[in-house]
Structure 1
Amino acid sequence: MDSYNPLISIIIAVYNGAKYLEGAIKSIIDQEYENYEIIVIDAGSTDNTNDIINLYREHIFYTISEKDNGIYDAWNKGLKASTGTWIAFLGSDDLYYPHALKSYVSYIATHINKDRLEFISSKIDLVDNNLIRLETVGKEWEWDLFKHKMITWHVGCFHSRALFNKYGFFDDTFKISGDYEFLLRPKNSLNAAYLPVSTVMMRHGGVSTTLLFKAIDETYRAKVKNGIISPLIAPIFIYNNKIKLFVKMQFVKYGFIDKL
């Protein structure tokens, strides 16, 4: 790994995230691997988010504070400012493990397909607000599974700059599933690999019913946009998935199952 020392751009999008932002930034500063740049895109926070950004200004390569059109618009701003060979997106309330970046770089350096890799996923530890682990998620990217649903978690992934050069930036008309839509574009030609290591702690709060139903709409819009399914049958899948989600929610509500 000594001869492989790529610059890694880590993009944090934040809005009124003062409660946890400092922890996210410190988790990057405390990395065992040191060749990185931190980019913080703030959506015009009204709490003391910018006080924290200013506190760590010497560690931050680029930052801007202005209203945006959602997280994918913020990520696009970060991408335009970034200069790294590899790009990662860290939530403002998430924390990298100290070994995270080093693990990625070591893995890439010894990979048989090193020069062609475009995307690497890893494991993610979902935690509560007190950082107590709830479960570990994150699977290897496989087209036959991915074309049906999102099986990777963006916070635990590395994206090569070549991937964005080839397929463009995120579609910011999406508000929830823009990362899924982006990774549908390469279809089965994506040069992907899997690092079977937990690289990040992701705070996992409750997801509102509205967001769950909106995610279904956006997931199928992404599939239609990329020619995965016909726009004629997409409404049928959307309807069926919403019915299944509603039934499952009732099972959770009445204690038949533990979680969605």
Structure 2
Amino acid sequence: MTSQPLISVIVAVYNGDKTLQRCIDSVFDQTYPNKELIVLDGGSTDDTVDILKRNNDKIAYWKSEPDTGIYNAWNKALDHVSGEWIYFLGSDDYLWKNSVFQEMASHLMKGASENIQLVYGQVARVTAADEICCVDGNPWDYTWNGIVEDGVCTFTHQGMFHHRSLFETYGKFDESYRIVGDYELLIRVFKEGGDALFVNGLIVAGMQTGGVTANCTNLVKETARARRTHSLKVVTIPWLISYAWAICYPVLNRILGDKNTRYLVNFGKRFVTGLSHKKNVILKQKNQ
């Protein structure tokens, strides 16, 4: 392990010419020197490829060719990483400030020294106008409970740094998923337990609302499929509430707007999963 671990940033993009430059700049402008950027484009028909060509000196590797979705692109990019830690950023998202990697580095070193394969901070959900809707990111016991016990996606991949050994041990993303391949991978890694390191108070990225996860109904259905695949209980109270939210989301979005709806959804998710986490903690204490 070096004193400054190499961080490999993977970006998958398709027709992202409106936001890709901001994403690239947020990586290139990091004060942390030991980083590399890898971009896989799905065969864009807008100006994305021209942007990649203009930024060739900022990118360690890029390619433009048709793919079958974001997880196919990520898997192809994994073949080209050199870093000890791997970070996935959406082309319409961006690193929150220029010192993110510098501030995260000591935590990555601590994680590696303790054989921890996942280190994560917080993510600000923002509108297209850069208004903050809410900030995601909670301690690991809460996050693990949501992922494994409740079947609720209580994480955002834009805050997560994966040690390369995680993929060497558990494999790459399952490309049969269109939305929750990152969730399925976390189930694969942590369904039997295990630790991750949460860096509280460090906003890693701004995540623009919308994108593939905006289709809440399909997200909940794919979550159920991932849980069935790993023999986890599908129908939990938090999962049912998530399904109800998914059905209501389009109507709420029209009435309240993107910012207020996202805030309301996240508040509801935190409230429900918080109650579930508290219940499970009490049960564990009683059984000890």
TM-score scaled by length of structure 1: 0.87
Q: Distance in 2 between matches of 1:127 and 1:36?
A: 25
Counterpart of 2:196 in structure 1: which amino acid? A
Contact 1:120 1:195 in 2 (8 A): yes
Deviation at residue 132 of structure 1 after TM alignment: 2.5
* Alpha-carbon separation, structure 1, partners of 2:175 and 2:212: 21
Alignment of 1:170-189 (within 5 A): 170-186=173-189, 187-189=191-193
d(CA) in 1 for partners of 2:207 and 2:249?
24
Partner Cα distance (1:191, 1:214) in 2: 29
* Aligned length, in residue pairs: 253
List aligned pairs for 1:1-260, cutoff 5 A.
4-96=3-95, 97-110=97-110, 114-142=113-141, 143-147=144-148, 148=150, 149-186=152-189, 187-196=191-200, 197-205=202-210, 211-229=215-233, 242-243=243-244, 245-246=246-247, 258=261, 259-260=264-265
Give the stretch that moved more between structures: 119-128 or 168-177: 119-128
Change (3 A) 1:48 1:167: same
Paired with 2:29 and 2:171, the residues of 1 have a C-alpha distance of: 31
After superposing the two structures, state which structure 1 stretch, 180-189 or 83-92, moved more: 180-189
Change (3 A) 1:237 1:205: closer
Give the equivalent residue in structure 1 for 2:276.
none
2:132 and 2:76 map into 1 onto residues whose CA distance is 32
Classify the secondary structure of the residue corresponding to 1:19: coil
CA contact (8 A) 1:18 1:47 kept: yes
Alignment gaps of 5+ in structure 1: none
Q: CA deviation at 1:189?
A: 3.2
The alignment yields a C-alpha RMSD, in angstroms, of 2.7
CA change 1:81–1:241 in 2 (3 A) is same
Q: Which stretch has the larger CA shift, 11-20 or 241-250?
A: 241-250
Distance 1:220 1:17, change over 3 A: same
Q: State the shift of 1:16 in Å.
A: 0.4
Deviation at residue 253 of structure 1 after TM alignment: 6.0
Aligned AA for 2:100? A
Amino acid at match of 2:154: I
Q: Give the CA deviation at 1:119.
A: 0.4
Instruction: State how far apart, in whole Å, the 2-side matches of 1:130 and 1:254 are.
Output: 18
Taking the aligned partners of 2:78 and 2:105, their CA distance within structure 1 comes to 20
- By how many angstroms is 1:71 displaced? 0.4
Q: Percent identity?
A: 34
Give 1:254 shift.
6.2
Render the CA deviation track for 1:104-145: whole Å, top value 9, x for unaligned: 11223345x734010012111111223232221122333322
Say if 1:128 and 1:204, in contact at 8 Å, map to a contact too: yes
